[in-house]
Amino acid sequence: NAGVTQTPKFRILKIGQSMTLQCTQDMNHNYMYWYRQDPGMGLKLIYYSVGAGITDKGEVPNGYNVSRSTTEDFPLRLELAAPSQTSVYFCASSYMTATYGYTFGSGTRLTVV
């Protein structure tokens, strides 16, 4: 049982480049989330999805896009990368609602230079 799998684990981007962070879960969870974690700031919600075809903005969506074509996959797209997007990105999933608690992936460490 793999849980939540994120790829890549590390990436360095140049300013203005684009990339997609991949997230896949094999627990048949309906709810999926993308967070960014910056030192001393906790986790900030970027986007979330309550099921295939449904996405919604979180607290810090600017500069990001998501899609949810299947229950399993929830990729996060960065267009025109900026230094402010240097962070650690976590994907998470939950059964039904977040009251069940999240299962997190191991993270993607992104540096924009």
Partner 1 sequence: AQSVTQLGSHVSVSEGALVLLRCNYSSSVPPYLFWYVQYPNQGLQLLLKYTSAATLVKGINGFEAEFKKSETSFHLTKPSAHMSDAAEYFCAVSEESGGSYIPTFGRGTSLIVHP
Give the interface with partner 1 as residue ranges (CB under 8 A).
4, 33, 35, 40-43, 45, 48, 50, 58, 90, 92, 97-99, 101-107
CB of 97 to partner 1, least distance (A): 4
CB of 38 to partner 1, least distance (A): 10
CB of 15 to partner 1, least distance (A): 26
* Distances 102 to 4, 24, 56, 93, 112 between C-alpha atoms, Å: 10, 14, 18, 6, 28
* Chain CA centroid to CA 7, Å: 10
Cβ-based nearer residue to partner 1, 1 or 14: 1
Cβ-based nearer residue to partner 1, 27 or 104: 104
CB of 4 to partner 1, least distance (A): 8
Cβ-based nearer residue to partner 1, 15 or 54: 54
Which DSSP symbol is given to 73? B
The total of other beta-carbon atoms located within 10 Å of residue 55's CB is 18
> Rounded to 5 degrees, what angle do the CA atoms 59, 53, 85 make?
35
Task: Write phi, then psi, for 100 (nearest 5 degrees).
Answer: -80, -10
